[in-house]
Amino acid sequence: MAEYKIYHNPRCSKSRQTLEILNEKGVDVEIVEYLKNPPGKSELTAVIKALGVTPSDIMRKKEAEYQEAGLDQEGLSVEQQVEKMIAYPKVIERPIVVKGNKAVVGRPPENVLDLID
């Protein structure tokens, strides 16, 4: 099992740049193309906890799917937000890199350096 995991979108320049930094540092990284293979509820909840944020903090609010999913409605519970993020993975901010119980969003890509010992 890889020490690092990146939730990656190969079409995103920031995601590609973050992956490039990980590769340059020679770390063992598992690549999860989350648009093809969205994380499950417990996995996404663990990522959110590792980031130390709320689900709303890692949503791409300008994506059409954000409104399509009804994520712009007030009063959604954390559980409802997570379920909608799984159903509409395009709204999940990218890239997210996880190492153990810590995680960072690769915006800017250099944020990943905080996870590398």
> What span, in angstroms and rounded, lies between the C-alpha atoms of 63 and 29?
28
**Considering all CA atoms of the chain, what is the largest pairwise distance in Å, rounded to the nearest integer?**
43
Distance CA 15, CA 10 (A): 7
Of the residues 1, 3, 12, 24, only one is catalytic, namely 12
Is 81 known to be catalytic? no
Distance CA 72, CA 108 (A): 25
The catalytic residue positions are 12
